Amino acid sequence: MWRLLRVRDKIHIVVCSQYLGDQKGEQPMRRWNGWGSDRVDFPLTEGSKSFLAESLGPSEPGPSAKIEDLVRNVKPGRLSAHPLIDTNPLLRLTHARGQSLPDWIALRFGSTGCLPDGVTQPSSEDDVLQILQTGKKSGISLIPYRGGTSVVGHINPLDGDRPVLTVDMGRMFLMTRLDKTSRLAAFGAGVKGPHLEAQLRAEEFTLGHFPQSFEYSTLGGWIATRSSGQQSLYYGRIEDLYAGGTLLTPEGRLEFPPFPASAAGPDLRQSVLGSEGRLGFITQAVVRVSPLPEQENFHGIFFPDWSHGLAAVRELAQASVPLSMIRLSDPVETKTTLILAGRERIIRLLERLLRVRGVSEGKCLLLCAFTGTSHTVRKIRHNTLDIVRDHDGIHAGRQIGREWRRSRFRTPYLRNTLWDFGYAVDTLESVFTWDRLSDAASGIVSRLKTGLEDINEKVLAFAHVSHVYTTGASLYFTIIFRISKDREDTLDRWHRLKTAASREIQSHGGTISHQHGVGIDHYPYLEAEKGSLGIKAIEALSKTFDPDGLMNPGKLIQDKGIHS
């Protein structure tokens, strides 16, 4: 994480990441079977615990296998000795899985599954070229690994005849160029969010890309999965920010000059966006950056119900009010958020004030952000509140917005806490045109809530609008359910819910992924969206850059001889 210190009107950056340790010289450890640093927790109040027990039933703590037991059972790899390759069992284990719920279930129950046969950590493009040459010569599958935050199985090795080498790009993280005139910056693609922002903010610039995984995800990972940041409405999605760079493929090097625009045939830069490691290694990325805004405020607004909130959000989007973030929670998410926030006295006071204004059960919380100069922020705020009032919205001020901003990268730690209390958490997302969005939201939430009824298990399911466009908006769904004592039973609960929601998404005309990519989990639904000819086109592109199928096999598109 970073914090800003203003000294003589110059912004200096203090980078506080998992690599820097504390004042005693001790380094915090990243959890091997959960989210984030082992020094950060998300405690639950007694009221929160009671709410979960009432909603889902009493629970027992979820299992938590010991890492030494898993390491002890790691089988030797299939790779020959090489100066760039490390076959340490612990390193292999900690590079085998991401942050999907199936990943958590496997590791927490003590199942390693398929591991890479080795891990390499290149420090330069020359190292990457050497790795590619070794892979081609020896027939080794290569998995690009960056932050390890994938929630759909991007980095998981799959069973196959070839040995697997995971290539951790985290040592390629420096900003190599900043063109302040053109507002372009070049980075090693393994740079994590905090380090990227620290390097830019020292020069009074920002990329403005803040996914919830910001602390650990990387620039290369954002590009490879078509990521969206929480303030993409102002700064743009990663495809808007990615201007060019370098791709090293098994067939050679490909450079993408950062032209402002070009009519010279198809834009090959687009082929890298969402490629999920199938074409090669993104080693350097040139991105469009912005000056640090003079002012940025986050505000909370309450609507009497979901329909009023949706109407206001759509009008804000289609009126092109230049907000940097619009996030509207449905009634269940609003209630859950307020309860889990833990500020019980403040929340009671807030709800009393809202009741006086006629807003109580069924209320929906809108979080919005105003970014720009002081003059611009005042104007945006005025225009926003005018539209909000037309839809019976009640402005609740900046306190809720400040609290959300303060904890926005801490929220994923709630997954650790809930598992320890016996509850599993997962998320999924899509995007719909405005004419379908309301029905899609209610249909998908309904399918999730009733998805485990036949085994007498309850599901807490809710949604929020997370990104808006003039033609539609993204819906982001969260589910919480009880963990079974049996690993396969817990995995089956997840699979049933994921399948039901994915089918419902497609029945309402939504994409299978708005911001998380395809990986393994979304592969079964991709052809319905792309068409068989589209899948053949992706396969042909992959074959052009990687004719031997070495790069991240089994992800995005299927490969013969690979089994999940």
Q: What would the pLDDT profile of 80-134 be if each residue is shown by its tens digit?
A: 999 999 999 999 999 999 999 999 999 999 998 999 999 999 999 999 999 999 9
Residue 5: pLDDT over 70: no
pLDDT-based confidence at 555, cuts 50/70/90? very high
DSSP assignment of 521-562: TTGGGHHHHHHHHHHHHHHHHHHHH-TT--BSTTSSS--TT-
Question: Which pTM was predicted?
Answer: 0.93
The pLDDT score that the predictor gives to residue 348 is 78
The pLDDT score that the predictor gives to residue 351 is 82
Residue ranges of the chain assigned to CATH 3.30.70.3450:
295-408
Q: Are 268 and 254 in contact (CB under 8 A)?
A: yes
Q: Which fold has domain 295-408?
A: Alpha-Beta Plaits (3.30.70)
What residues form DSSP beta bridges with 296?
Answer: 371
Give the sign of the dihedral formed by CA 65, CA 69, CA 70, CA 73. negative
- The helix (run of H) or strand (run of E) holding residue 15 is strand 10-15
First to last CA, the chain: 35
The label of the residue with tokens 């003589």 reads 8
Mean pLDDT (whole number) for 545-558: 95
Mean pLDDT (whole number) for 487-510: 98
3-class SS of residue 112: coil
The pLDDT score that the predictor gives to residue 213 is 97
Mean pLDDT (whole number) for 265-279: 97
472-482 and 459-468 strand pairing: antiparallel
Burial of 563 (0-12, 13-18, 19+ CB in 10 A): exposed
Torsion of CA 387, 393, 396, 401, to 10 degrees: -70
- Residues in contact with 348: Cβ distance below 8 Å, sequence separation at least 6, in sequence order: none
% of the chain with per-residue pLDDT over 70: 94
Mean pLDDT (whole number) for 295-311: 97
Residue 9: pLDDT over 90: no
Q: Are 359 and 394 in contact (CB under 8 A)?
A: yes
Q: Are 476 and 445 in contact (CB under 8 A)?
A: no
Closest CA to 519 of 558, 482, 556, 479: 556
How far apart, in Å, are the Cα atoms of 40 and each of 195, 212, 229, 409? 19, 15, 22, 11
pLDDT-based confidence at 458, cuts 50/70/90? very high
CA dist 74 and 106 (Å) reads 14
Residue 14: pLDDT over 80: no
Mean pLDDT (whole number) for 156-177: 97
Which tokens is 236 given? 């743009």
Mean pLDDT (whole number) for 342-357: 79
CA dist 148 and 266 (Å) reads 31
CA dist 395 and 399 (Å) reads 11
The pLDDT score that the predictor gives to residue 17 is 37
CB atoms within 10 A of CB 378: 14
Mean pLDDT of the chain: 93
Q: Mind listing the pLDDT tens digit for each residue in 212-263? A: 999 999 999 999 999 999 999 999 999 999 999 999 999 999 999 999 999 9
Residue 7: pLDDT over 90: no
What residues form DSSP beta bridges with 168?
Answer: 145
Mean pLDDT (whole number) for 459-487: 98
Mean pLDDT (whole number) for 198-219: 98
Residue 449: pLDDT over 90: yes
CA dist 298 and 290 (Å) reads 19
pLDDT-based confidence at 562, cuts 50/70/90? low
Q: b vs e for 459-489, b when ≥16 Cβ sit within 10 Å of the residue's Cβ?
A: bbbbbbbbbbeeebbbbbbbbbbbbbeebee
Distance between alpha carbon 562 and the CA centroid of its chain, in Å? Answer: 26
Mean pLDDT (whole number) for 323-337: 96
Q: Which fold has domain 116-260+270-292+517-564?
A: 3.30.465
- The helix (run of H) or strand (run of E) holding residue 137 is helix 125-138
Mean pLDDT (whole number) for 151-171: 97
The pLDDT score that the predictor gives to residue 321 is 96
As a three-state string, the secondary structure of 163-222 is CEEEEECCCCCCEEEEECCCCEEEEECCCEHHHHHHHHHCCCEECCCCCCCCCCCEHHHH
Q: At what angle do helices 331-341 and 344-356 cross, to 10 degrees?
A: 140
Residue 392: pLDDT over 90: yes
CA dist 447 and 91 (Å) reads 39
Stated length of the chain: 564
Q: Region of 276 please: left (phi>0), alpha (psi -120 to 50) or beta.
A: left
Mean pLDDT (whole number) for 510-515: 97
pLDDT-based confidence at 6, cuts 50/70/90? very low
Residue 387: pLDDT over 70: yes
The pLDDT score that the predictor gives to residue 426 is 98
Residue ranges of the chain assigned to CATH 3.30.465.10:
116-260+270-292+517-564
